[in-house]
Every structure is written in structure tokens, then in C-alpha cells.
Chain A
Amino acid sequence: MYDSQPDFFTRLTLALRAFGRILTQSDFASDVLRLDRGESRPPVVEEPPKPPLRETSPDSALQLLALLQQEGRFVDFLEENVAAYSDAEIGGAARVVHEGCRKVIHDYLHLEPVRTEVEGAQLTLPAGFDAAAVRLTGNVVGQPPFTGTLMHRGWRATGITLPKIAESHDVRVLAPAEVEL
């Protein structure tokens, strides 16, 4: 932007350039028209600020999945077609999955219920309760304190300690192929 008044030569080249652009660019032409009529430029519509969404690193997700597979054959279980088997057969395999995955959850995560009350109990949520930790359902009207029935206690991870991994370790290999020699 020019702070001082443009001189004649500058004004001449500007007029010639504007002449060309008014003929060829309709946006530019309408802006010049507005200037000529003495209208002010419409305010630029501010884009609403983007909600702060972030990408999470897939590394720890893959690492946890590898642990669940290693200890509890989790991926094998989910990827298998259970329709072909009887409940007893699925139940036998489920013990492997349950025992192993439970070990992983207990070894690497520290979990506790969000609410300590017994499910089915009446409880009261004061104003300012943490909406991320307690979800309201059903007849959600009025103002807090809210009184309702605890349907699910919720789970909260209060700690997670995953194994440290080597710099170049490929976490995408959830379970290596095994070749017996």
C-alpha cells in the first residue's frame, strides 16, 4: 500500500493496467464500480475458527494392538470367521483372548471406573459436572443438578505405560510371520 500520493507516471501505468483488467476480470470491475460509487468494501467474512482437532500418532495404537495380538491373539480372533464354529469352539478360543488381553490391559494400563456407585443406583450430578466423563441420556431437560440412574459406570485410564520401542522398530508389524526351519 502506498503511504504517499502516487505521481503522474505511476497513475498513468495504473490507469492502463486497470483498463485492461476491467475489461477482462469481472471481479475487479465490480470492485472498481463500488469505488466509483463511493461504497465501502463489504467486510470480509471471517472464517469461524477451526475446532482444535489433532492427528494422533498411530504408533502407540499399533503397539497396543501388537501387544493384544501377542498375548491374547486379538487380531487372529477378530479376523476369523466365527460363523463357521459352534459356541463351544468359540468359547475355548475366547479364553485365550480373554486371559491374554486382560493381562495386557492390567499390565500396561491402569483402569478405574468413572463412577464408583453401583450400576442402577440413583445419583445427582451437580452443576459444572464433567460432560466428557459423564454422558446424559434420555429426558435431558432442565438445569443441573441432574438426578438420574447410573446405567454404566464408565472406564477411565489413569495411567498407561507402553514398552519403549527402538527408534527404527517397525510398529506396523503387529505379529511377525513365523517360519519354522
Chain B
Amino acid sequence: MSEARYAVGIDLGTTHCVMAAVDLNTSDGDEVVDRIELIPQLTAPGSVEERPVLPSFLYLPHPDELRPEDRALPWGEPQPLVVGELARGMGGRTPIRLAASAKSWLCHPGVDRRAAILPVEAPDEVPRISPLDASIRYLSHLRAAWDHRHPDAPLPEQDVVLTVPASFDPAARELTAEAAAAVGLGHLVLLEEPQAALYHWILAARGEWRKQVRVGDIILVIDLGGGTADFSLIAVTERDGALELVRIAVGDHILLGGDNMDLALAHTVRAKLAESGTRLDPWQVQALTHGCRHAKEILLSDAALDAAPVVVPSRGSKLIGGTLRTELTRAEVANTLVEGFFPEVAASAHPAGRARAALTKIGLPYAQDPAVTRHLAAFLTRQLGATRDLAGFENRAPDNASFLHPTAVLFNGGVFKAPSLLRRTLNILNSWLATEHAPPARLLEGIDLDLAVALGAAYYGHVRRGRGVRIRGGTAKAYYVGVESAMPAVPGMEPPIEALCIAPFGMEEGTQAELPPQEVGLVVGEPVRFRFFSSSVRRHDQVGAVLEQWQPDELEELEEIAAILPAEDRQPGEVVPVRLHAAVTEVGTLRLEAVPRVGAESWKIEFDVRGEG
């Protein structure tokens, strides 16, 4: 791929997609020529506009709903499905035909992500689409938009970097890479979103970044997008006299974002209207959510105001007669948004409940506890030991520290466009630090909260060519398979499970783990399932390590993985001893293989097996 003209960064977000490019021919070192690619999309039937963001919404129109010519895009045939702004608009009126949050479904181990399940609430006659297919549609639209604008430099020939949440599990990463391969982007590289945001900060500082951080700094990246909260810790170290960045920890997958906040405010106002006897239909609720978002922005940007008006326009053509007028008060914003999502809690706080029950919608495992600050406290507490083995950091943390002490914070995501929420989060973090006599964390500024991830990803494509500082770190988790222990079986009790480490913490892209000494038996011709675990805190386990017991928050159980040995020249039912071999591909996905004792062949182990067998 040496002829690539551009490095292209794609932020495939839960609520919107952004595409940015760095011109490799004219960029050199810190002098980078980058831009956001405008994405043509339908904004109304028959009307196409170029916008910097493509809303991640897919609308499945009824055959009589939209004329084919009103679905025409600047390129090629009218698509049967609508993507982007028009999809979002039509979906507001007809939610049963709207597929949204496909990215969250992609990381939902409870469903078959290749099965046509979206929209969840669609009646039977609506043809559904799988979360994987939805991702393919967004990428396909982005590719078509790029190729239309750059006919001489088609996207598959460029250096493409696609971002994923740092908390994405191996299955979700592989599905994302698979979606990209389906539109011809097989050679891309995955990058974690908080890292992309930090890359953008480095780029935006134009070389000054080396003066703003120093060796020993621990940068906390808080990325609060429309649908997910994503935390990462990145340490500043030194190698051969130059600053180096090492990503040392990532947080859990938390489905909690700006959309939840706007919805919560709308519910507050709706309850207020209901008290006065006004009931709203779904169309009005959507308009109310829109109005509340607007009012919230006004209140959060002007501390002198006590209330901001919220207007729900009538649906009919009688605008004045049918319009509802209410207001959002500062107290409501403070109670619902600030106290609800950013409460002042102690550093020892833990989110209530595991992320399993639905907060707003059936199906997706939304975070049960909406408090971002509690999730953050739990993350920093769990990662207390993250720097223990890092050269230069050994004696950095005081012995009595109860959580990892960040020294700098980078905020990303549309939520923090409200300076008061950013300031509050920083103040709460600094109050925790003050309790343990640590200096306050510095605020790293200067990034575009909506576009940083795509711009940072494009810049990373440039950096990968050896033209700037890279964030190292490898995989942020160690991986284990469950093996039944050799203990004698006790009637009525499941045989205890031991966890066998097959991939250690910190595997870099393009590297392979050693083969574990232990063998497991695969049955020829049948899928054999393994329980699969990850740990974001066990940094020392090497391949072959066997855990007989562990703390509940040390290991997280992922979806089962399965190996299928083709029957070819073996007897079906025969048991073949194999060893499980892990590698991290150049793309950045984890690859597991079953390697038999003899012979050169090996079989791929699948992550996403729900739909099979």
C-alpha cells in the first residue's frame, strides 16, 4: 500500500460517522495537511446535501413511501435503504422502520450479530437487517462518498484507519473489521477512539504538546459520545531521550452517553406536562427531546439564566394554536443532568448493578447506573496497579493511594461542549486527588469534540509511516479460556472451571503469543465451545498460566468461542488434542487458532458463534 495518497480516518460512531483525511504527499512531521471529508447524503426526499457528519441511522422505507428518484445519490443507483440525515428524520416519524445504535448491538454478546434483528420493534413485514449489515451500509456509503470525490484515489487504495471504542471486545473488533472488508477495506487498521482523540490533541498542538506533558504524566482520556462512555489511561514515558506514550488501561464497555442525557431531560419535562394534564404523542416527545437539548445548551452556556423556554410545535399546520410552550429550569438541569449523570461521589464509589438491565430501550444492555463519575471512580480504583511495572513509574504512586492518580485529563465527545459539565467532572476528579494529597490534574485543551476521533485517526495513518510519536501499549487485556478442572466430579455441582491464559496483556499488532503447554480436546466434525474470559487488570499472567480462582472483578466473562474441526480425513467423533494459539493481526483484531500436535494445519476459532450450531 505504498502508493496511498491519503491517510483516511473513519469514526464509525454510535450516533454519527465522520471521515477525515491527511494528504500524505504534502504532509511532513508536525506539518500535516488534514481536512474533514464532507459526506453527501439525503436530507429530505430528493434532496442531497454535503455534511461533515453522517448520522448513523438506517431507515427501511415501505415500497410506496419514497419514489426511487427521491432516493438518488450523487453516485450510482438509488439504494433501497436510506442512510444518514433523512433516515434519522423519517425514523422520528416512523420508529418501527428505523435501525439505530447498530454499533452498540455489534458489541452486544447477547444476540447473534449476523442475524437480521434490527429494528427490534419492527413488525414482521418490515425486512430487518443485522447489526453487521448496518455497519456495512454505513461504511459502504462512506466509501461511495469518498470514491465519488476522489475518483483518482479510491478508498481501498488509501491507508484507512477505522476507530473502535477502547472497550470493544475481540468479537466486536472482528465484526467491525469484517464489515470493512465487505466494502473492500480489508487492509485497514483499527484504532481505539480515546487514542485517536489523543492523537488529534498532539496534532492540534503542532509540536507544542511536548511542552505540555512530561515524563511521569498519566493522561486520563474521558470520551463521552452520543451512546458510549469510554475511558483510557495513557502514560508518558521516555525512550532514548524522546517522549513516548503508552496506553496502560482501558475501561469497560458502558452504554451511556449524551443521548441518554437528552432523553432524561425530556422525560423530566414530559412528566411536568403530564402533571398539568398534557399528554404527548411519540412525535411530540421527539420534538420535546430536540427542544430540551436546545434549552439545555442555552442553560449550560449562560449561568445567568434561570430557565430556558422549550417549545413543542403542533403537528398540524395550525402552528400557533397547537404549539405547547413550557420551560426547562436550571433546577431541573441541575437535578436531572448534573446530579443524575455527574454526581459528586467519593473515589471509592462503585456503579450500582452490573450493566445488564435496560435503562431506556428493550434489548441493549444500557448502563444501569447513569452516573458517569461513579463509573470513572470504579475504573480508576480498579486500575490502581496499572503503572506498577512501567519503567519510571515504579515509586510514583503513594503507598496509601486507593485509586490511580491521573495527572492530566483530555475530554472528548459532544457532551463536553457544555463547559460546566467538563469543569464539574474535572473538579470531582481533583477532589478525589486532593483527598489523597495528590496535585490536581491538568486539563489538556484544544481538540474539536465532535471531529477529533476522525481527525486523530487520519493523523495516526500518517504517524504509522514513522512520522510522529506513536502510542504503544498493545492489547489492554489478557485472554483466557475456561477449562474444566481435573477435580473429581461432585454430583449436583458443575465441575469447577479454571482459566487458562492464552493471550497475555499488551500484545502488539502483528505479534503472536507463545503456544501454551496445555492441550484441549476437539471433537472432529462438531463445534466445541469454550468459555472465554478477559482481564483488564492481570498484567502478569503468561501464556499457559492457570487460574483456579479469581476475584469477581478481575475476570470478565465474554461470549463463548467455538472451534469446528472439519471432518476431512478424520473420523467424525474422533478427539484431536490441540493447543490454542493467539495472535494479534496487523488490522488489530485478536485471532485464535487451534493447532494440533502434528501436522502444519490449524483451524480458526470463531468468536461470534451464536448463530451457528
Are B47 and A163 neighbours in the complex by a CB distance under 8 Å?
yes
**Residue A15 interfacial (CB < 8 Å):** no
A93-115: CB near B (< 8 Å → 1, else 0) gives 10111010000000000000000
A97–B319 Cα distance when bound, in Å, is 9
| Complex contacts, B72 vs chain A, CB 8 Å | 166-167
Give CA–CA (A23, B92) in the complex, Å.
Answer: 82
Q: Is the CB of A95 within 8 A of B311?
A: yes
The proximity string for B residues 302-314 relative to A, scoring 1 for CB distances below 8 Å and 0 otherwise, is 0000000101010
B69 touches A80 (CB 8 A): no
Q: In the complex, what distance in Å separates the CA atom of A166 from the CA atom of B45?
A: 9
- Enumerate chain B residues within 8 angstroms of A63, measured Cβ to Cβ: 47
Which A44-92 residues have C-beta < 8 A from chain B? 63, 66, 70, 73, 76-77, 79-80, 82, 84-85, 89-90, 92
Evaluate whether A168 and B69 lie within 8 angstroms (CB atoms) in the complex, with A76-B317, A76-B318, A96-B313 already known. Answer: yes
Contact flag A93-B323 (CB < 8 Å), given A99-B294, A163-B49, A169-B69: yes
Using Cβ atoms and an 8 Å threshold, which residues of chain B touch A77? 319-320
**What is the size category of the interface that chain B forms with chain A?**
20 to 34
In chain B, residues 25-50, which have Cβ atoms closer than 8 Å to a Cβ of chain A? 40, 43-49
Q: Does B586 contact A (CB under 8 A)?
A: no
| Inter-chain contacts of B320 with A (CB < 8 A) | 77, 80, 82, 85, 89-90, 92-93
User: Which of B48, B93, B315, B319 has the most C-beta atoms of chain A within 10 angstroms of its own C-beta?
Assistant: B319
Q: Would you call B313 and A93 a contact (CB within 8 A)?
A: yes
Interface assignment of B70: CB less than 8 Å from any CB of chain A: yes
The docked-state distance in angstroms from the alpha carbon of A166 to that of B46 is 5
Contact of B48 with A167 in the complex, beta carbons under 8 Å: no
With an 8 A cutoff between CB atoms, is A164 at the interface? yes
CA distance in complex: A164, B47 (Å):
6
Please judge, given known A-B contacts A89-B320, A93-B323, whether A73 and B69 are in contact too, CB under 8 Å: no
A178 CB contact (under 8 Å) in B311, B315, B318: B315
CB distance from A93 to the nearest CB of B (A): 4
- Give complex CA distance A163, B40 in Å: 10
**What is the size category of the interface that chain A forms with chain B?**
20 to 34
When chains A and B are docked, how far (Å) is the Cα of A101 from the Cα of B43?
16
Residues of B within 8 A of A82 (CB): 320
Task: Tell me the minimal C-beta distance from B24 to chain A in angstroms.
Answer: 29
- Contact, CB under 8 Å: A73 / B48: no
Establish whether residues A169 and B315, one from each chain, have CB atoms under 8 Å apart when the complex forms. no
- Report the separation of the CA atoms of residues A96 and B93 in the bound assembly, to the nearest whole angstrom: 19
Q: Residue A165 at the B interface, CB < 8 A?
A: yes
| A176 smallest CB distance to B (angstroms) | 8
Which of B47, B311, B321 lies in contact with A169, CB distance below 8 A? B47
When the two chains form their complex, are residues B311 and A70 in contact, meaning their CB atoms are under 8 A apart? Answer: no
- Shortest beta-carbon distance from A75 to chain B in Å: 8
Q: Which of A77, A79, A169 has the most CB of B within 10 A?
A: A169
- Given A164-B74, A169-B70; A70-B319 close (CB under 8 Å): no
- Does B325 count as interface, using CB distance less than 8 angstroms? yes
- Tell me the nearest residue of chain B to A94, going by C-beta: B320
Minimum CB–CB distance from A124 to chain B (whole Å) comes to 39
Residues of A contacting B45 with CB < 8 Å?
Answer: 169, 176
Which residues does chain A contribute within 8 Å of B47, judged by CB atoms?
63, 163-166, 169
Q: How far is the CA of A70 from the CA of B72 in the complex (A)?
A: 20
Shortest CB-to-CB span from B126 to chain A, Å, is 13
A66 to chain B, nearest CB (A): 8
In the complex, are the beta carbons of B325 and A70 less than 8 A apart?
Answer: no
Which residues 141-181 in A have Cβ within 8 Å of B in the complex?
163-170, 176, 178
Q: How far is the CB of B399 from chain A (nearest CB, A)?
A: 56
- B47: nearest residue on chain A (CB-CB)? A163
Docked pose: A170 CA to B45 CA in angstroms: 10
Closest to B294 in A: A99
B46 touches A73 (CB 8 A): no
Asked if A165 meets B46 with Cβ closer than 8 Å, knowing A92-B311, A95-B309, A96-B311, the reply is yes
Known: A92-B325, A169-B70. A70 touches B318 (CB 8 A): no
Task: Tell whether, in the assembled complex, residue A80 and residue B318 are in contact, meaning their CB atoms are under 8 Å apart.
Answer: yes
Minimal Cβ-Cβ distance residue in A for B287: A96
Find A73's partner among B67, B70, B309, B319 (CB 8 Å cutoff). Answer: B319
> Within 8 Å CB of A176, what residues of B?
45
Query: Which residues of chain B are within 8 angstroms of A95 by Cβ–Cβ distance?
Result: 309, 311, 325
Nearest to A82 among chain B residues (CB) is B320
A163 near B44 with CB under 8 A, answer: yes
**Residues in chain A near residue B67, CB distance under 8 A:** 168
B489-531: which have CB < 8 Å to A? none
How far is it, in angstroms, between the C-alpha of A140 and the C-alpha of B461 when the chains are bound? 64
Q: What is the bound-complex CA distance between A77 and B185, given in angstroms?
A: 49
The smallest C-beta distance from B176 to any residue of chain A, in angstroms, reads: 31
Chain A residues with Cβ below 8 Å from B313 are 73, 93, 96
Across the interface, B48 reaches (CB within 8 A) one of A70, A79, A97, A165, namely A165
> What is the bound-complex CA distance between A80 and B317, given in angstroms?
8
A73 nearest in chain B by CB position: B319
> What are the residues of chain B within 8 A of A79 when measuring CB–CB?
317
Interface contact A163-B309, CB-CB below 8 Å:
no
Residues of A within 8 A of B323 (CB): 89, 92-93, 96
Shortest distance between the CB of B51 and any CB in chain A (Å): 9
| Residue numbers in B under 8 Å from A80 (CB-CB) | 317-321
Give Cα A170–Cα B46 distance, bound, in whole angstroms.
9
Min C-beta distance of A86 to chain B, whole Å? 10
Specify which chain A residues have a CB less than 8 angstroms from the CB of B48 in the assembled complex: 163-166
24 A-B pairs whose Cβ atoms sit less than 8 Å apart in the complex: A77-B319, A77-B320, A79-B317, A80-B317, A80-B320, A80-B321, A85-B320, A89-B321, A89-B323, A92-B320, A93-B311, A93-B319, A95-B311, A96-B311, A97-B319, A163-B49, A164-B40, A164-B49, A165-B47, A165-B48, A166-B47, A167-B69, A169-B47, A176-B45
Q: Which residues of B contact A (CB under 8 A)?
A: 40, 43-49, 67, 69-70, 72, 74, 93, 294, 309, 311, 313, 315, 317-321, 323, 325
A residues bordering B, Cβ < 8 Å?
A: 63, 66, 70, 73, 76-77, 79-80, 82, 84-85, 89-90, 92-93, 95-97, 99, 163-170, 176, 178
Contacts beyond the supplied A92-B325, A93-B311, A163-B49: 20 A-B pairs with Cβ under 8 Å: A66-B44, A76-B317, A76-B318, A76-B319, A79-B317, A80-B318, A80-B320, A84-B321, A92-B320, A96-B311, A96-B313, A163-B43, A163-B48, A166-B48, A166-B69, A168-B46, A168-B69, A169-B45, A176-B45, A178-B315
